[in-house]
Structure 1
Amino acid sequence: MSRVQIAIIGGGLVGASLALALQAGARERQWKIVLIEPYAPGDSYQPSYDARASALSYGSQQIYQRLGLWDAIAPRAEAIDDIHISDRGRFAAARISASAEGVPALGYVVENAWLGHCLWAALDSDVVEWRCPARVEQMQTISDGYRLDLDDGSSLDCDLAILADGGRSGLREKLGIHAHTTPYGQTALISNISSAIPHQGTAFERFTDAGPMALLPLADNRCVLIWTRQPAEAQRLYGLPDKEFLQELQACFGYRLGAIEQVGSRHLYPLSLIESSEQVRSHLVVLGNAAHSLHPVAGQGYNLSLRDSMALAECLLSGPVTPGDLATLQRFQNNQQRDQELTIGFSDRVTRLFSNGKPLLASGRNLGLLGLDLIPPAKRWFARQAMGLGVRGAQDKS
């Protein structure tokens, strides 16, 4: 029976980022980390028009800078220089710019495949072992950790198990950890598009009575489209021929980018706010989307999970030589509680406010956007939330 100090179940972006944050300290402490992932990471990066992407806040860029990874990520990272926020059919709009906030960019949009490629290449196989492709079928508590039964018939003991296997974590349910689910009654349609006018680093957040939409700048003059609608309407849009789809998208978004000329493959994702009822137990942490899954339009989910991962790494590396004691894990949760509450609350309130078509709320929303553009303290607060600096502030900016 083999044993490691830390087993990270889920080798995606969150799990790999945590492994990288732990790597140097784990080497000093002679810890062994294993990443268990059912899908084999690609050995090489191949650019694709349809590549899925993530929006990294300025705070997340600073994290990867501190981890020594940003120089590798940067060649395929598209800077968000400005954010344009508007409400369809109403006059008010707000604009947030990196130059006004005194930062090089408000955030960056990076293809997931490229970000994953950079992360995986930075992991040291002497410290971090891959079990891939492999899936954990069962987890059982033992006196000093967890025993993991894998789908290849092998078993592995660990001092600390970290559950980072996504928002539909079957293992979380098997452990009796419930998730509080609040459906938004919306489905996100996600695709990449190209337009006649270059995006010039502008991200667009557009709110309509039928649901919010976002266009995020991506490399090669593409944009990531996140278009939320009621499920039946999203399904209808999903099934339209490209020409008809582009016509409806153009009518909803307008011509700020000129004619929208191309759309890639479309994907549908039902949207809910999902929060795990527990994030830590003795020898166990629930992390990433398994801990909290947010609406994508506000762009906060992955950035919060990355901050959680860094806070966990910091607590583990300043804690006992053997990881997994409950006091250290509770300290991590207490340290992140305020950040999680503010970020989840910000994302949820923005989503609900800007998805509501009631006339009174719509009028208030219009005034709110006008005030956001005219009142500097309000704009700065909103910008800091969007940049992932809402809680840590100067610490993340330094």
Structure 2
Amino acid sequence: MKHSDTDVIIAGGGLAGATLALALAKVAPALRVAVVEAFPLSTDALPDAYQPSYDARSTALAWGSRLIFEELGLWQRISEHATPIQHIHVSDRGRFGATRLNASEFQQQALGYVVDNRWMGLCLMRELLATNIQWLAPAEVTDMASSEQGVSVAVKIGSETSTLKAKCLIVADGGRSGLREKLGFQTNHHGYDQNALIANVSTSDSHEFTAFERFTDAGPMALLPHGSPSRAGHQSVLVWTLNDRELEEVLGMSESDKCQRLQERFGWRLGRFTRIGECNHYPLTLTTVDEPVRPGVALVGNAAHALHPVAGQGFNLALRGLMTLVEQFRLAVEQGRSPGDFQILRCYHELHKPDWQQTVQFSDSLIRIFGHSLAPIAAARDAGLVGLDLLPGAKRLFARKAMGTAGRRAVINGPATSDKQ
């Protein structure tokens, strides 16, 4: 394939890119969409019996993300292996401050869910197989040039590089690929001098579908319920922030010593830690792009903003942004305009901007506030946690942010609307 034509090219077929492709197939089927991805679209996408690995990586989905997947007709399948978060417990280690959220207080089945990334990917692949989405794999986008008709995208397939002409390029391959920088987008980076260690752990006590957000003098940590969607079990997903020295120490420990160190940091709210699985880790950096759109190209997901995982907001923020972009593309089709029209992409950016700014501020402020050990600041945040637990109005706002329902936009059944839950 030396030259070809399509409307939208999505660089990256991971969770963000595949979700965008599926949403476009359902909302704007007149658009021709091609996904450029390193892994092929398998005809064996969804096995008859799925058995998640103990070491499987997972994502926390907010309630608002469930609503998005329902609109895409995907939630029924995803929910087969989605562990509900029915309670959230936020505490400050060694101090009295704490707040609790319960799904029943807000007439919800759950505040969110924990889902294996592989299972979500398989569900997306199966749905995509039933669409007209073109899947180019294994392949990668290596460059792009603007033209009068839109963009000319260099796609490397094996040892050959082809040119694919399109009206719009969407960069959805994460924040580490280098394509964003190669295309000249300016990024802002703020390092936290911390690393996230991710692992699955087992405890002697059942999680009872509770997510724990624990702030310690060494950094925040979270334990999210994992396993059966209907029976509370003993497995949780650990997100543990460590500085470079602590990370090196922990990685060099035996499993029993890792459990002991984790016990010291987290405490006994889930009883004794009995097992810790394979440990993945990465440095924590807040990355934003002030202008993630230009004529014919837009950044989405982690390519546009990468957050600290403390509040589990990253993928949920990305999903809301994808739906905002899909709605603008739907309107472009209705109006006979190109999806790469700068005004279309600019409108997407302006609509999504308040959401990502507020979410970045929310996540970043948690780190800054709980990162101080000075007595007056610690006392003030403890009072804030207690007040949050006692004041219904403040607690409702906090819950809406945690559930990802504030400002959510529905696009499947017509014009975008705000979710008023």
Q: What is the TM-score with the length of structure 1 in the denominator?
A: 0.96
Q: Which residue of structure 2 lines up, in the alignment, with residue 297 of structure 1? A: 310
User: How has the CA–CA distance of structure 1 residues 109 and 11 changed in structure 2, closer, same or farther, with 3 Å as cutoff?
Assistant: same
Contact 2:198 2:239 in 1 (8 A): yes
What is the CA–CA distance in structure 1 between the aligned matches of 2:60 and 2:37, rounded to whole Å?
A: 23
Q: Which of residues 280, 294, 298 is equivalent to 1:281? A: 294
What is the CA–CA distance in structure 2 between the aligned matches of 1:25 and 1:391, rounded to whole Å?
A: 20
Contact 1:159 1:283 in 2 (8 A): yes
1:143-199 Cα offsets, whole Å, 9 max, x none, are 222222222222211111000111124111111111100111111111000111111
Q: Which residue of structure 2 lines up, in the alignment, with residue 214 of structure 1? A: 222
Contact 2:26 2:72 in 1 (8 A): no
Secondary structure at the aligned position of 2:310 is classed as coil
User: Which residues of structure 2 form unaligned runs of 5+?
Assistant: 410-416
Q: Which of residues 116, 141, 146 is equivalent to 2:121? A: 116
Between the aligned residues of both structures, percent identity stands at 45
- The one-letter amino acid of 1:186's match is Q
1:90-114 Cα offsets, whole Å, 9 max, x none, are 1221100000112111000100000
Q: Which residue of structure 2 lines up, in the alignment, with residue 39 of structure 1? A: 39
What is the CA–CA distance in structure 1 between the aligned matches of 2:257 and 2:283, rounded to whole Å?
A: 23
Contact 2:28 2:329 in 1 (8 A): no
- The one-letter amino acid of 2:113's match is Y
Q: Which of residues 397, 412, 417 is equivalent to 1:381? A: 397
Q: Which residue of structure 1 lines up, in the alignment, with residue 386 of structure 2? A: 370
The 5 Å alignment of 1:190-205 reads 190-205=198-213
Q: Which residue of structure 2 lines up, in the alignment, with residue 317 of structure 1? A: 330
Secondary structure at the aligned position of 2:114 is classed as strand
- The one-letter amino acid of 1:182's match is H
User: How has the CA–CA distance of structure 1 residues 213 and 395 changed in structure 2, closer, same or farther, with 3 Å as cutoff?
Assistant: same
What is the CA–CA distance in structure 2 between the aligned matches of 1:81 and 1:114, rounded to whole Å?
A: 21
The more displaced of 132-141 and 1-10 is 132-141
Q: Which residue of structure 1 lines up, in the alignment, with residue 62 of structure 2? A: 57
- Give the superposition deviation at 1:137: 1.6
The more displaced of 206-215 and 34-43 is 34-43
Q: Which of residues 256, 260, 276 is equivalent to 2:269? A: 256
- Give the superposition deviation at 1:46: 4.8
- Give the superposition deviation at 1:241: 0.7
What is the CA–CA distance in structure 2 between the aligned matches of 1:167 and 1:364, rounded to whole Å?
A: 35
What is the CA–CA distance in structure 1 between the aligned matches of 2:373 and 2:242, rounded to whole Å?
A: 12
Aligned positions, number: 396
What is the CA–CA distance in structure 2 between the aligned matches of 1:75 and 1:397, rounded to whole Å?
A: 27
- Give the superposition deviation at 1:126: 4.8
Q: Which residue of structure 1 lines up, in the alignment, with residue 413 of structure 2? A: none
What is the CA–CA distance in structure 2 between the aligned matches of 1:356 and 1:134, rounded to whole Å?
A: 46
Q: Which of residues 354, 360, 368 is equivalent to 2:376? A: 360
What is the CA–CA distance in structure 1 between the aligned matches of 2:82 and 2:297, rounded to whole Å?
A: 34
Contact 2:407 2:418 in 1 (8 A): no
Q: RMSD of the alignment, in Å?
A: 1.6
Contact 2:41 2:135 in 1 (8 A): no
Secondary structure at the aligned position of 2:311 is classed as coil
- The one-letter amino acid of 2:354's match is R
Q: Which residue of structure 2 lines up, in the alignment, with residue 141 of structure 1? A: 146
- The one-letter amino acid of 1:23's match is A
What is the CA–CA distance in structure 2 between the aligned matches of 1:186 and 1:309, rounded to whole Å?
A: 29
What is the CA–CA distance in structure 1 between the aligned matches of 2:187 and 2:299, rounded to whole Å?
A: 11
What is the CA–CA distance in structure 1 between the aligned matches of 2:84 and 2:41, rounded to whole Å?
A: 26
Q: Which of residues 407, 413, 419 is equivalent to 1:391? A: 407
What is the CA–CA distance in structure 2 between the aligned matches of 1:40 and 1:197, rounded to whole Å?
A: 41
The more displaced of 185-194 and 123-132 is 123-132
Secondary structure at the aligned position of 1:297 is classed as helix
What is the CA–CA distance in structure 2 between the aligned matches of 1:87 and 1:351, rounded to whole Å?
A: 12
User: Do structure 1's residue 345 and structure 2's residue 353 form an aligned pair?
Assistant: no
What is the CA–CA distance in structure 2 between the aligned matches of 1:139 and 1:116, rounded to whole Å?
A: 27
Contact 1:304 1:340 in 2 (8 A): yes
User: Do structure 1's residue 188 and structure 2's residue 193 form an aligned pair?
Assistant: no
Q: Which residue of structure 1 lines up, in the alignment, with residue 21 of structure 2? A: 19
Secondary structure at the aligned position of 1:338 is classed as helix
What is the CA–CA distance in structure 2 between the aligned matches of 1:307 and 1:385, rounded to whole Å?
A: 13
What is the CA–CA distance in structure 2 between the aligned matches of 1:268 and 1:238, rounded to whole Å?
A: 10
- Give the superposition deviation at 1:32: 1.5
Contact 1:146 1:160 in 2 (8 A): yes
- The one-letter amino acid of 2:109's match is P
- Give the superposition deviation at 1:242: 0.5
What is the CA–CA distance in structure 2 between the aligned matches of 1:41 and 1:262, rounded to whole Å?
A: 35
- Give the superposition deviation at 1:348: 0.8
The more displaced of 75-84 and 323-332 is 323-332
The 5 Å alignment of 1:91-106 reads 91-106=96-111
- The one-letter amino acid of 1:78's match is T
Q: What is the TM-score with the length of structure 2 in the denominator?
A: 0.91
- Give the superposition deviation at 1:41: 5.4
User: Do structure 1's residue 235 and structure 2's residue 235 form an aligned pair?
Assistant: no
Contact 2:406 2:419 in 1 (8 A): no
Contact 2:221 2:310 in 1 (8 A): yes
1:9-55 Cα offsets, whole Å, 9 max, x none, are 0101111111111112432x2x2211111134563455200000000
What is the CA–CA distance in structure 1 between the aligned matches of 2:250 and 2:9, rounded to whole Å?
A: 41
User: Which residues of structure 1 form unaligned runs of 5+?
Assistant: none
Q: Which of residues 7, 10, 13 is equivalent to 2:9? A: 7
Contact 1:238 1:267 in 2 (8 A): no
What is the CA–CA distance in structure 2 between the aligned matches of 1:381 and 1:261, rounded to whole Å?
A: 36
What is the CA–CA distance in structure 2 between the aligned matches of 1:171 and 1:375, rounded to whole Å?
A: 46
User: Do structure 1's residue 245 and structure 2's residue 258 form an aligned pair?
Assistant: yes
